[in-house]
Amino acid sequence: MAVVAIVTVAVTDIPPAYEPWAWAVTAFFVAATLLDGIFAFLPLTRAQRVRARALAIVGDAIVGIGYVAVFSYQAGQPYRALYLIPIAEVALRYGLRGALPVAAIMVGATIAIDDAQGPLIGHVVAVRILVALLIGLVIGRLKDAFDEQRRVAETRAAEAEALRDQLGRRVDVLEAASRCARALASSLELDEAFGAFIRELRGLVPFERTAIVLVDGEEATTMATAGRGADRIFPPGSVGPLHGSVLERVLDGQLVVRRDLGEVEYPEDELLIELGLRSELVAPLLVGARAIGMLSLARERVDAFSEDEIELVALLGRFVATAVQNIRSYEAERARVAELRRLSDLRADFVSLVSHELRSPMAAVIGAARTLQDRWRVLSADQREAFLALIGDETSRLAALIGDVLDTSRIEAGTFSYRFDDVDLGRIVHDAVDTAGFAQQDVSIEASVPAEAPRVRCDRERLRQVLGNLIENAVKYSPEGGTVQVRLQATNGVCRISVSDQGPGIPHGQQQRIFEKFGRADVPGVASKPGSGLGLFIARSIAEAHGGTLDVRSRPDEGATFTLTLPVAA
């Protein structure tokens, strides 16, 4: 454009009075063009570029007005339209708000130039003003509309980018939570699964301590822990009260962010502070809408968890809950299978035991009966009496065994009958001791009963059956010449009858087993005694039916003490 201006001025026959101004305007135009080119290559800031563009538009306006003035000597010359160029530039750059003021300035300048040349023609001035305003309005409105569309597009692009970033973060969170869940579900063995989960979790949400705690009725049971104090503070398997704990707070399914543990709210806070922990994040383990426990993470800094970490741990709560539920179901099923296997073994042992218990007395009865049948006349009276006594004893053993089996089946079916009455408990104890003493002479049985024995509401025969069983067992396992102590005490509205022997004792791990069906203690170094393994099961069932209990206390080589506890009759 600058070259065109130079050529135009050079070939045009310009009056001498106007020629210096023409070259001056052209020189200014050339200088402005060079300066604009230099600005285009300079590393300018945004503000500097805005000022450079504004300066270029001012230069164009001066050049346009200059050429209009230079060629004003010609009537109807085309250079008068140059005043429209700055208007269009400003409208394209600044829109309507910039176009109208510049249009007014440029039109005013051209009118002043024309006025200096001679009288103005009204319709020419009006048309000039109208054209300038139209150009400013049209281009300005188009520019404003374009800017508005651009702003809307930029806003939507920014929103789309933000949504993309947010979606990306959520995908990352889901992938991270999924990796942790897969790690926890990688094994149905708790220690192995939790170890894999901790390794994955530590890389996603660093922590100093973490724990998984489950709801068990009214108690909180620690399933697994890792990090500081894992073996000392709430180790795996430890049980604490649910009421008043942070677990109670998350049971409604809400995430709990403890930003400063120094503000003590729960009893466990002081223990965590002793470990140097100052903030805690607790997420509920949700199976559907039900919370089965919590996942907690603790750090040594106050307010140490970010919003992204909080969101991740909240999501982990659902994934972990499903994996934990699977592990619990597996553990329960495995325990059930082990229990069924144990019961199957007990039944097998029972069948073997009963077969032996039946075979021995039956063989003795059959042998004694055949001997009496074949040799009745050659046997002496004492010999016949001895064989008859043997038949009576073995028959009684058979009857007792069959009675125990029938009583067990009735207890399980709920048809075991009782006849309750007010009974003198001291009399029952003496009768049971006397009966056991008459049946054998190898072990001494001593009774300790207060002069004023209390009365209890019970079934006399069933209670005598229990005491007879306890005393018979004590005699069976006591050494020859030993002593069995039977004591009756009444305190605080209950009666306690204890039967103590001097036998080998019962190992601690088998003290509950002996009260189960077919359960028998296996004491190292002690030969197995005859019995069905049903007596103590029946005795405890009778005690519980009376509202009482039957327990045992024993130590190896120190004998055993069975204690029957019954409520005193009102």
Q: pLDDT for 4-29, tens place per residue?
A: 666 666 666 666 766 776 677 667 66
Residues 6+ apart with CB under 8 A from 450: 426, 488, 489, 490
Alpha helical stretches, state H, 377-510: 381-413, 425-439, 460-477
Predicted confidence at residue 73, as pLDDT, reads 60
pLDDT tens, residue by residue, 280-338: 888 888 877 788 888 888 988 888 888 878 877 887 777 777 777 777 777 788 888 88
Angle value at C-alpha 463, between 461 and 465, nearest 5 degrees:
70
Q: What's the confidence (pLDDT) of residue 179? A: 73
**Closest to 459 measured CA to CA, from 421, 404, 403, 407:** 421
pLDDT at 108: 67
- What is the phi/psi pair of residue 506, to 5°? -125, 125
- State the Cα–Cα distance between residues 160 and 558, nearest whole angstrom: 81
Q: How far is Cα 570 from Cα 565, in angstroms, rounded to an integer? A: 16
Secondary structure (3-state) at 235: coil
pLDDT category of residue 120 using cuts at 50, 70 and 90: low
Architecture of 190-335 per CATH? Answer: 2-Layer Sandwich (3.30)
Q: What is the pLDDT of residues 507-545, one digit of tens each?
A: 877 778 777 776 677 665 555 666 667 778 888 888 888
pLDDT of residue 516: 77
| Residue 570: per-residue pLDDT | 43
Tokens of 203: 């890389």
Percent of the chain having pLDDT more than 90?
Answer: 0
Give 161-200 pLDDT, tens digit per residue.
888 877 776 676 667 667 777 776 666 676 677 777 777 7
Is the confidence at residue 2, as pLDDT, over 80? no
| Residue ranges of domains in the chain | 2-156, 190-335, 417-567
Res. 500: pLDDT tops 80: yes
CA–CA separation, 502 vs 486, rounded Å? 12
Q: What radius of gyration do the chain's Cα atoms show?
A: 53
* Side-chain-facing half-sphere of 211: CA atoms under 13 Å: 28
Is 127's pLDDT higher than 50?
yes
> Residue 294 and residue 27: Cα distance in Å, rounded?
83
Out of 31-35, 111-115, 428-432, 513-517, least confident range: 111-115
Higher pLDDT among residues 172 and 372, named by residue: 372
Q: What share of the chain is helix, strand, coil (3-state, %, to 5)?
A: 60, 15, 25
pLDDT at 395 over 60: yes
Using DSSP bridges, classify how beta strands 494-500 and 455-458 pair: parallel, antiparallel or unpaired: unpaired
At residue 543, the pLDDT reads: 86
Q: Which pLDDT does position 243 carry in this prediction?
A: 82
The one-letter code for the residue type at 35 is L
pLDDT at 266: 84
Q: Provide the pLDDT for residue 322.
A: 76
Angle at 384 (CA atoms; ends 381, 386), nearest 5 degrees = 110
Reduced to 3 states (helix: H, G, I; strand: E, B; else coil), residue 290 is: strand
Q: How far apart are CA 397 and CA 395, in angstroms?
A: 5
Give 426-435 pLDDT, tens digit per residue: 888 888 888 8
Number of C-beta neighbours around residue 283 at 10 A? 27
Which homologous superfamily does the CATH classification assign to the domain defined by 417-567?
Answer: Histidine kinase-like ATPase, C-terminal domain (3.30.565.10)
pTM of the model: 0.43
Burial of 17 (0-12, 13-18, 19+ CB in 10 A): exposed
pLDDT above 60 (res 405): yes
